[in-house]
Chains A and B, each alone.
Chain A
Amino acid sequence: MVKWLATAIGSATIAVAVVAAAEPPVGAVSCSGCHPSSSRVTSPVPRLAGRDKAELAKALQDFRSGARPGTVMDRIAKGFTDEEIQAIAAWYAAQQP
């Protein structure tokens, strides 16, 4: 959180700060390769936008720990830290579904 704020606040101009703040957190842009953002796509893979932040974070943590079985998410979640998981969950929770 502190580091993230520092990135945004440390930016030189308003325009720059906006670009930095609207920027998805590390790793988040890759999710939409499998998780549909378009409502027109039929997929067994759940959409992420607008989902509850705590629910998203717990799913990622459980995939990472092995508490929740996955097909590929168990392998992918292991690449992210607690802080990154929280940031990704918060960002998707804030997106318009």
Chain B
Amino acid sequence: MSLGRRAFLRSALGATASAALLPVTARAQAAPPKVIVVGGGFAGASCARALRVVDPHIAVTLVEPSTTFTACPFSNGVIAGLRELSAQQFTYDHVAAAGITLARTTATAVDAPARTVTLADGARLPYDRLVLAPGIDIRWGALAGYDEAAATPMPHAWKAGEQTLLLRRQLEAMADGGLVVISAPANPFRCPPGPYERASLIAHYLKTRKPRSKLIVLDAKDTFSKQKLFQQAWTELYPNLLEWVPLSKGGAVTSVEPATRTLVTDFGRHKAAVASVIPPQKAGHIAEVAGVADRTGWCPIDPATFESKLQPSIHVIGDAAIAGAMPKSAFAANSQAKTCAAAVAQLLAGTPPPVPKLINTCYSLVAPDYGISVAGVYRPTNGQLADIPGAGGVSPSEAPRSARAQEATYAEAWFRTITAEVFG
């Protein structure tokens, strides 16, 4: 049976090469199918490359204005002075070398019935299938007082780059004994464990550099990702330094006053020396323009193909999508991108895509040598991506420090591996 399957696989893979010759006449008559991918992050760049692998016949255009991608995973390490921003940055040279056309501009409009994307320079590109991977936009003003100007005195640093460096410089400039405040938003938002990893690594920075300082996390929630593991590590590593205030204890920030770096809750005012406000978010702007975002600001999708439930022939992947139990993580974005690419190729070929299974693995650092993880396996269930019961979960709560050190090593290896796959 296994031999039979392997023989079949071999012949099937062999057929790929010969079939490249066989249907040439049929294919030459039809123009190559056009797929446009908007957004060059983990989701979009992964999808563009996966499309070229699944079917090199597809003409893929990636619309992305930046010449450099700055990765969010591990950017909390940059804030805490553990690594440089350059370690987070990647060019699109290898993406272009994979045969993908780069449109180094912004997509400004989508005409779904006509199947065209309009670019900032006025060009209109036709598509057979469109993949939107726009990531997140900040909902400026959703938290009273937090507008674009407020992001300078109170950096969100939730899109890596200048904001990341700004928050780092503010921490470096802070005197020992200062109060650092982080505010975490209600669900859903990009990188569910991110605010708590940020708190952990800033606490590590304070403990080693400015030990008389204090860190408060004001949270709009009562529970969060990997909570037990984080809290256990905080007790062990940062007692009396890091305080988490949940919603039920008055943690929800109701407004901010950027001029004095003050965060206001129903229970009091916190005047910070350094404040990082992680604000409410929504799908990136083009999702709204294309009509694929619903009233929540996020994009409902078919869980098997990632095709929008609101517009035909438009797929949405990554942080912008409503992916059920899958978190808004880089690993999930990459897994969705490859699944979506396969589905797009099959839909273009007129084949019904199979029911997929997707995976997420997400590491957080509580200290440079202390990693924890959450994993999940997902499949479409009742129109949503749902956890497969019995699979997934977090690192064991009882584990020796050597196991935490090993997970920190794996976290770094994961970053190297995924960025090499997507941008290398």
Contact at B377–A27, with CB atoms within 8 Å?
A: yes
CB contacts (< 8 Å) of B403 on chain A: these are: 71
Chain A residues whose C-beta falls within 8 Å of the C-beta of B114 in the assembled complex:
none
Residue of B whose beta carbon sits closest to that of A96: B13
B357 in contact with A84 (CB, 8 Å): yes
Q: Give the chain B neighbours of A12 by CB distance below 8 A.
A: 350-351
Cβ-neighbour of B345 out of A5, A19, A29, A44 (below 8 A)? A19
A29 to chain B, nearest CB (A): 4
B4 in the interface, Cβ–Cβ < 8 Å? yes
Residue picked from A17, A36, A79, A90, most chain B C-beta under 10 Å: A79
Within 52-73 of A, Cβ neighbours of B (below 8 Å) are at 53-54, 71-72
For the complex, give the distance between the alpha carbons of A44 and B179 in Å.
39
Question: Which residues of chain A are near B375, meaning CB under 8 Å?
Answer: 72, 75-76
Which residue of B10, B335, B392, B424 is within 8 Å of A38 (Cβ)?
A: B424
Task: Return the contact of A86 from the options B5, B334, B358, B409 (Cβ within 8 A).
Answer: B5
For the complex, what is the distance from the CA of A16 to the CA of B19, rounded to whole Å?
A: 10
Tell me the B335-394 residues at the A interface (CB within 8 Å): 335, 338-339, 342, 345-346, 349-351, 354-359, 361, 373, 375-378, 388, 390-393
Task: Decide: A78 near B416, CB < 8 A? Known: A11-B351, A16-B351.
Answer: no
* A43→B416 contact, CB < 8 A: yes
B410 and A86 form a contact (CB under 8 A) = no
Which range contains the number of B residues in contact with the other chain? 35 or more
Contacts of B120 in A (CB 8 A): none
Tell me the bound Cα distance from A44 to B2 in angstroms: 29
Residues of A within 8 A of B16 (CB): 18, 21-22
Name the B residues within 8 Å of A49 (CB-CB): none
| With known contacts A23-B342, A33-B417, A79-B359, A53–B350 Cβ distance under 8 A | no
| Interface residue ranges of A23-54 to B (CB < 8 Å) | 23-24, 26-27, 29-38, 40-45, 53-54
Does B82 count as interface, using CB distance less than 8 angstroms? no
From A15, A26, A79, A91, B26 is in contact (CB under 8 Å) with: A15
Q: Are A32 and B54 interface neighbours, CB within 8 A?
A: no
Instruction: Tell me which residues across on chain A come within 8 A of B349, comparing CB atoms.
Output: 15-16, 19
Return chain B residues, CB-CB under 8 Å to A30.
Answer: 334-335, 338-339, 357-359
Asked if A75 contacts B392 (CB within 8 A), the reply is yes
Q: CA A44 – CA B408 in complex, angstroms? A: 12
Contact with A along B1-42 (1 / 0, CB 8 A): 110111011101101100100110011000000000000000
Of A13, A19, A27, A37, which contacts B421 at CB under 8 A?
A37
Within the complex, the shortest CB–CB distance from B371 to chain A, in Å, comes to 9
**Residue of B19, B359, B424 touching A18 (CB-CB under 8 A):** B19
**Nearest CB in chain B to that of A30: its residue:** B359
* Cβ B4 vs Cβ A1 within 8 A: yes
State the Cβ distance, A31 to closest chain B Cβ, in Å. Answer: 8
> 30 A-B pairs, CB-CB below 8 angstroms?
A1-B1, A8-B12, A14-B23, A16-B350, A19-B55, A19-B345, A20-B346, A20-B351, A22-B13, A22-B16, A22-B54, A23-B354, A27-B359, A27-B377, A30-B335, A33-B359, A33-B361, A33-B421, A35-B417, A36-B417, A38-B420, A38-B424, A41-B417, A43-B413, A75-B392, A76-B375, A78-B388, A79-B377, A79-B378, A79-B390
